[in-house]
Each structure stands twice: as structure tokens, then as C-alpha cells.
Amino acid sequence: MSALAVSTGSINLGQGFPDTDGPTQLLEDAVAAIRAGHNQYPPGIGIPSLRHAVVAHQARHYGIELDPDREVLVTTGATEGIAAALLGLIDPGDEVVALEPFYDSYAAGVQLAGGRLRGVTLEPPDFRLDLDVLAAAVTDRTRVLLLNSPHNPTGAVLTPDEVAGVARLCVERDLLVLSDEVYEHLTFDGRPHVPISTLPGMAERTLTAGSAGKTFSVTGWKVGWLTGPDHLVTAARSVKQYLSYASGAPLQPAVATALTTQDAWVAGLRDSLQSRRDLLVDGLTELGLTTYRPEGTYFATSDVRSVGYDDGTAFCRELPERAGVVAIPCAVFYGSPDRGRFLVRWTFSKQEAVLTRALSRLESLARGSG
């Protein structure tokens, strides 16, 4: 869809990446690190200052205690961390349960490991997790629960009660958890983000993924991390050794400093995304498109039946020609595309002026059906 956006000159509200840079200091620190010669292989597990910064971040925000030498692994984006964890933790035939719709790398990672992915579907309008449905999806073969909150693409944020319910199930059924928390700081309207590893009995069975790309608006840097108990981090580290061995040397010191010093910048990003969320969701709603207001992330979803389509993929294929805007069909985020058939995803990680321009282009939708 990004290629289609370029070839048709459309505004790309498809792929989720910000159109403004991260904190100036972060960028300057990376340039300085390159000039200072941080250009050869760093330690495979990540440079000490970044591992210490990740540990301090988890302690400051959530009261989580970690050993920087054994319980942190720096990865090439959260994507590599998730893939390494899946490859390290599951054997052929094992099952992984994930909240559906899911970020598309999950299915690929589970398949590469020879596992089977079972989705627990979050349904509109509010995309709440039904704990009974989750419990019913767990079988004797389930090894890992792959959790994602704040959730891409629905924007749902699990409530503290929901997280507690999931944790109880994991202890009861002896499941490992891979918790994708890359949008941890992007929650709106004062909602808290509760890492599942903070719940009773969970620290020893949870690997958590974080990402500098999301937190500091540098998605192209691909710097992420896994945290968790030694035995689970070791499983992922053994795989990472042969995926990439090590990750971006000059970016690591810059991210280490940002993780320690840029809390206010991140809070500003969150507040600005909240108002851009409202701009986009209110605008789409006024155009007659049923749109669900997300609680976190930088994505919102709409039901295209409200503007005369019965297929989100057809809607997204026609939209560039019709209105000069690109969105993503949510069908790609479901195990069975039919389940997400009516939904499309927009990102509001773009500047206000860009969102306003996209909304004015989309006015044709309000004037007639497709």
C-alpha cells in the first residue's frame, strides 16, 4: 500500500510511521556516535549503557527489577525480538495464542518455528478481550500466549482487570507469555499501561518486547529490546546470535541517553497523538464512516459498510484513485481474512496538516457510495 501511495501521489495513512523526527538530542547523539567511531560490532546482547537504561526505564515506570547482564537483550527492532523469542521458545507442533487481529509478523514468526497460531478475536466496537474465549483457546499444546497491549491494529488497551485475568489464566495453565508492549507510552485519556510481568507469578514466565522506534519516533532505526528472566532471555539470545548477532552500534548509545532523559518528550508525543486521534476519528465520523476511537497506539479502524462497501480490501484498492488517500485493509491482520473483511486501518501518526488534507480529500466518500 505504501508503494501504491507513492505511485498515485496519495497521502499515506496506511503504514504506521511518523512524518516528524524524534528528539533532536537523540539524532545528534547518533551522529556523534558515528563520528566517534562506534561503527564496529557491539556486544551481541547490546552495549552496557543501553541495557542499564532499559533496566532503569522498567524500574522507573513499572517498578520492575532486572539484571542488566542477564535479563535484557537488545534486538534489531521489536520484530527481531519477537521472532527470536518465538523461535527460541516453541517447538514444532506447539500452539501460540494471540489476540486477533494481530501484527503481521506474529503469524510468520510462529510458522517459521513450526508452531500453530490460534487467534482470540477482539470484536468492534470496543475490541474488549473476552477472558472466557481466551481460556477456551488454550489447549494442552499451548506453550506461549502472545499478548499485545496497546494493541495494533485495534488501538485497544487492556484494563488492569483484563491483564490480571490473563495473568491468572497463564499461571493456571502454565503458559509462557511474550508481551509485545511497543506502544507502552502511547495510551490516551489517562489510561495506564500495565505490563503483565508485574502481576503475581508472571515475572518468571514473561518476555517483554519494547521498541525505540515507537517510543522516540525513529521506526527506521530498528532498535528494540527483550526483558525477562535469564532462562527466557537466553532462549531468545541463542537465536538472535544467528539472526543478526548484534544490532546498530551507533544507535545504541543514543537510545540509551534518550531512554534516560526524554520522558517529557515522550509524554508530549502521547498528548499530541491523542489530539491527532480525535482530529482523524471525529473527521472520519463526520464523513459518515463508522470509526472506533482507539485507547492507544497510533491506529484507528473504520467499518467500510457505513460508506457503501462490503469489503475493506476493495475499499483500500479504490481509495487512492478515488480520494488520493491510502489505508490498510484489516483482513491482512486476521488468520482468516473474512473475519476482518469490513475493517480498514488508518494511522494518525502524521502531522495535523496532513490529516486535515486527507480528511478533505475523503469528503468525496460522504457524497456517494463506491
Q: Select 209 or 287, whichever has its Cβ closest to ligand PMP.
A: 209
Q: At a CB cut-off of 8 Å and minimum separation 6, what does 349 contact?
A: 16, 17, 18, 19, 217, 273, 276, 298
227 binds ligand PMP (CB under 6 A): no
219 binds ligand PMP (CB under 6 A): yes
CB-based contact 302:291 (threshold 8 Å)? yes
Q: Select 76 or 302, whichever has its Cβ closest to ligand PMP.
A: 76
109 binds ligand PMP (CB under 6 A): no
CA neighbor of 235 nearest in space, from 37, 341, 84? 84
CB-based contact 167:199 (threshold 8 Å)? yes
Selected binder of ligand PMP within 29, 71, 162, 180 (CB under 6 A): 180
Q: Select 213 or 329, whichever has its Cβ closest to ligand PMP.
A: 213
| First-to-final CA distance of the chain | 19
CB of 6 to ligand PMP, least distance (A): 19
202 binds ligand PMP (CB under 6 A): no
| Cα(214)–Cα(218) distance, integer angstroms | 7
* C-alpha neighbours within 13 Å on the C-beta side of residue 227: 27
| Cα(212)–Cα(331) distance, integer angstroms | 28
103 binds ligand PMP (CB under 6 A): yes
As a residue count, the chain comes to 370
224 binds ligand PMP (CB under 6 A): yes
CB of 37 to ligand PMP, least distance (A): 26
| Cα(267)–Cα(274) distance, integer angstroms | 11
| Cα(346)–Cα(231) distance, integer angstroms | 39
16 binds ligand PMP (CB under 6 A): yes
User: Count of residues binding ligand PMP (CB under 6 A)?
Assistant: 14
Q: Select 77 or 228, whichever has its Cβ closest to ligand PMP.
A: 77
Q: Select 183 or 309, whichever has its Cβ closest to ligand PMP.
A: 183
CB-based contact 73:46 (threshold 8 Å)? yes
100 binds ligand PMP (CB under 6 A): no
Selected binder of ligand PMP within 78, 178, 199, 289 (CB under 6 A): 78
Contact positions with ligand PMP (CB under 6 A) in 310-369: none
148 binds ligand PMP (CB under 6 A): yes
**Chain residues that interact with ligand PMP, rule: CB under 6 A:** 16, 77-79, 103, 148, 152, 180, 182, 211, 213, 219, 222, 224
